[in-house]
């Protein structure tokens, strides 16, 4: 699986996308998508971090969103940025950075994303005041 290449963007880089079930096993598909994209862009030194970011984004969507599917994307919005993202159909459940206690079993996903990504956030998906979903993303600044 190499993902579905999106049209080449103005900066010359294609994006990659894959839709999967909202299930734990889908994180592996997201990691594979990231590996394929970063290999195509010759950014192998950033692969481990980007793979971990995608894995955490998918895990959060599986744990906190609703609906049966998620869409995973890997893009280069600019020459020096890589963006990994997950779209789900639950716009009212927004990501919240936690401060977990050492014994807590959950709540570390966004803490890890905050530590590894150069920036992260979310955008609503859909028109107007009634979005149908959200896109949670993390970006890495890269150099070749």
- What percentage of the chain exceeds 90 in pLDDT? 71
The DSSP element (H or E) to which 91 belongs, if any, is: none
Hey, how many other C-beta atoms are within 10 angstroms of the C-beta on 89? Answer: 19
Tell me the pLDDT of the chain averaged across its residues.
88
From the list 140, 112, 135, the residue with the least C-alpha distance to 125 is 135
Report pTM.
0.87
Q: What is the CA radius of gyration of the chain?
A: 15
Angle at 42 between CA 77 and CA 83, to 5 degrees: 25
DSSP tag of 6 = P
- pLDDT tens string 77-110: 999 999 999 999 999 999 887 776 666 566 568 8
Order the strands of the 133-141 sheet from edge to edge.
4-5, 16-21, 69-78, 81-88, 133-141, 119-125
pLDDT at 109: 80
| Both structure tokens of 6 | 């999106």
The widest CA-to-CA distance across the chain, in whole angstroms, is: 47
Specify whether the CB–CB gap between 105 and 93 falls below 8 A.
Answer: no
pLDDT of 2 over the 50 cut? no
| Both structure tokens of 33 | 């998508």
Segment 21-41 shows an average pLDDT of: 96
Among 4-13, 23-32, 120-129, whose mean pLDDT is lowest? 4-13
């Amino acid at each position: 699986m190499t993902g579905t290449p999106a049209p080449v963007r103005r900066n010359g880089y294609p994006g990659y996308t894959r839709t999967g079930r909202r299930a734990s096993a889908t994180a592996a598909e997201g990691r594979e998508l990231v590996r394929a994209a970063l290999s195509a862009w010759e950014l192998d030194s950033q692969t481990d971090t980007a793979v971990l970011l995608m894995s955490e984004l998918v895990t959060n969507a599986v744990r906190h969103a609703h609906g049966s599917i998620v869409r995973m994307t890997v893009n280069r919005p600019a020459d020096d940025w890589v963006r990994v993202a997950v779209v789900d159909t639950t716009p009212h459940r927004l990501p919240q950075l936690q401060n977990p206690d050492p014994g807590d079993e959950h709540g570390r996903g966004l803490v890890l994303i905050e530590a590894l990504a150069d920036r992260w956030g979310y955008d609503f998906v859909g028109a107007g005041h009634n979005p149908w979903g959200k896109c949670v993303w993390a970006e890495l600044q890269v150099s070749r």
